[in-house]
Structure 1
Amino acid sequence: MLTNLLVGSQYPTYQVFVSFFVSCLITALLMPPFIRLMRKDGIGQQVRADGPQTHLVKQGTPTMGGVIILAGMILTTVLFARWTPDLILCVAATIATGLLGLLDDVESVSHGRSLGLTPSQKMLGLIVISVSFCLLAVNWVGVPPTITFPGGFTLDLGVLGFNIGGVSVPWLYLIFVFLLLAGLSNAVNLTDGLDGLAGGTVMVVMLAMSMVAFSYDEINLSVFAAASAGACVGFLWHNCYPAAIFMGDTGSLALGAGFAALAVLTKTEVTSLVMGGLFICEALSVMLQVISFKTTGKRIFLMAPLHHHFEKKGWSETKVVIRFWIVSAMFAAVGFALYFQLR
């Protein structure tokens, strides 16, 4: 099966492999001058006052490295992919969410606090992006408003939809895509709390998504996913402990949205949730912590998100990151295996 995956396509495999390495190189080379620019302008990360005390030394570390991650992804995609409607839509959703994250980062840095945009402002932006993406995916790209589960069961979320001026509005699918895109964007954002954690885990899932897209002969989406993974590797060169720069919300929100967009366009929405299982666990840890504290006054975890819980238990930052990479790879492998049951 793996042999068929690698050589069974009518498209040359080298485009995907080369895009990974080129994106990695572009990002790694552009990052140092960007770091110097951020330091010169005094643009640095604002650390949570209630976070682990060991993180206070990170105060002022250059941030918004997601700008260079996006640059590496887009430049590589321009070089190695054809701009088909599905690729244009995927890139547009990623850039739009990255711009939302950039606004959040700028707001945070300019006001000298760890929180940027308000939750309602972020949510409004994600609603606009996800609804626009979904409507274009259904009406322009031709993505069916359905969800397919492992085993072959398909749920049609367009059955209660309606048309406005010839535009199909599958409102149940709109809600689902919003939850997927907003959920994964915020989940990756929550995961971005330790040096190298978000970059490494996103790299893993994007490599898996590249293989998924390639197996469908969606070479252009495969190139984009591989370029995203490569950009994460180039970023990790500078983000490994102790980090010289952080990706900020610019990178984490954009990468989460790119992951969600790929899932919708390849019709692997369900298996993507398994592939990104680590992100789901991080998000759930925050939700459970808040619910437990508000209802019982007690905390389930020593600190949320989940990676901070293990820090509080005495794990070093590097140990948490590497072990979370391994867990992320396991989730990606299970999700990739389930994906073949959908074919």
Structure 2
Amino acid sequence: MSMALSFFVPLILCVLFGLFYIPLARKIGIKEFVLLQSFKKKQGTPTMGGIIILLALVASLPFLYTSDYFIILVFATLFFAIGVTDDALKITRRSATGLRWRTRLILQFILAVAFCIVFYYTTSRSIPYLLFNGLFLVFFVNAFNITDGLDGMAAGNFIIILSGLFFILLAIASTALVPFVLAVIGATAGFLVFNAPRAKLFMGDAGASLLGSLLAMIAIFAKLKYFVFIAGLFIVIEGGTSIVQILSRMVLGRTLFPIAPFHYVLLRLGWGEQTIAVTSWIFTLTLTLVFVVASL
């Protein structure tokens, strides 16, 4: 499959799936429940849109197949399933609360350990890396979930980071993952057609779990975790501030920050949603370009 087809086939499929899914989701009640008053205008927007990204990738898989792609996609689908469960509970309860956070974290760690064991026996036999890979995977799954708070923010940052990873893979002549990386970028770009401000479709916890796990596992297979940490600094800050906030409340009995995650701080300062999303894209693009140019 040529590079152009690797990108455009999933993109077109995702757009087609989206055109079908959005009216279906409205009809059967797969809609966002919003807790914060400032986000009430988003109430009722179709959610769980990550399904169209996954369907586009699965439909493209016959053209992309290698064992690495299959392993990544299987585990990404399992992380997606955890997110679907979380979303489904929120929808049926008409609440912002889905799975208990401990339950979700336990399930994520079980999947992360299973993935790392498979990676250990198929690719890299290193115990320290195995442990770090598991933490890396769970962190980015949750960090993307946290970042997916504003229209287009998570998907846009994801596309920029993964595009940078694509160019680095080309630069170091490591082309085995290139078709799959392009397919993931294409499918997510197709989703962004519906998710860009003002969003007609949200990815939900299902989609955020899918994208976070895909990015982390691709970085692990490509041995480019350090790049994802640097280029994805905005995602790291989003996830990190929330984790520190939770831990400080548990350990110290008080919160360390006035509010978390970081984009809530910007909202409180009076920044508009679209301004925050676009600024995050520019920030991530700048870091990505600097890193890619330095790698050439």
TM-score, normalised by the number of residues in structure 2: 0.92
Q: Are 1:33 and 2:20 counterparts? A: yes
Count of paired positions: 295
Equivalent residue for 2:129? 173
Residue-by-residue CA offset, 1:62-120 (whole Å, 9 max, x unaligned): 100000011112323432x2x22222212122111111111111121111111211112
Which of the residues 100, 124, 141 maps onto 1:143? 124
Range with bigger deviation, 283-292 or 99-108: 283-292
Which of the residues 201, 211, 231 maps onto 1:275? 231
Give the partner amino acid of 1:205: I
Where does structure 1 lack aligned partners over 5 or more consecutive residues? 1-13, 146-169
Q: Are 1:103 and 2:85 counterparts? A: yes
Range with bigger deviation, 175-184 or 324-333: 324-333
Q: Tell me, in whole angstroms, the C-alpha distance in 1 between the residues paired with 2:249 and 2:119.
A: 40
1:89 to 1:213, Cα distance in 2 relative to 1, 3 A: farther
Equivalent residue for 1:68? 52
Q: Tell me, in whole angstroms, the C-alpha distance in 2 between the residues paired with 1:220 and 1:113.
A: 43
Equivalent residue for 1:194? 150
Q: Tell me, in whole angstroms, the C-alpha distance in 2 between the residues paired with 1:247 and 1:291.
A: 27
Structure 1 stretches of 4+ moved >6 Å: none
The Cα RMSD (Å) is 2.1
Which of the residues 175, 189, 211 maps onto 1:233? 189
Alignment of 1:6-21 (within 5 A): 15-21=2-8
Equivalent residue for 2:167? 211
Maintained 8 Å contact 2:246/2:255: no
Maintained 8 Å contact 2:165/2:227: no
Question: When you count helix as a share of all residues, which structure comes out higher?
Answer: 2
Identity of aligned residues (%): 28
What SS does structure 2 have at the residue aligned with 1:226?
Answer: helix
Q: Tell me, in whole angstroms, the C-alpha distance in 2 between the residues paired with 1:309 and 1:77.
A: 40
Equivalent residue for 2:39? 55
1:319 to 1:128, Cα distance in 2 relative to 1, 3 A: same
Larger Rg, first or second structure (1 or 2): 1
Alignment of 1:109-120 (within 5 A): 109-120=91-102
Give the partner amino acid of 1:243: A
Where does structure 2 lack aligned partners over 5 or more consecutive residues? none
Equivalent residue for 1:46? 33
Alpha-carbon distance, 1:187 to partner = 0.5
Equivalent residue for 2:116? 134
Give the partner amino acid of 2:14: T
Q: Tell me, in whole angstroms, the C-alpha distance in 2 between the residues paired with 1:252 and 1:307.
A: 16
Residue-by-residue CA offset, 1:112-138 (whole Å, 9 max, x unaligned): 111211112211221121111111112
Q: Tell me, in whole angstroms, the C-alpha distance in 2 between the residues paired with 1:186 and 1:29.
A: 28
1:190 to 1:338, Cα distance in 2 relative to 1, 3 A: farther
1:139 to 1:32, Cα distance in 2 relative to 1, 3 A: same
Alpha-carbon distance, 1:204 to partner = 0.7
Give the partner amino acid of 2:183: A
TM-score, normalised by the number of residues in structure 1: 0.80
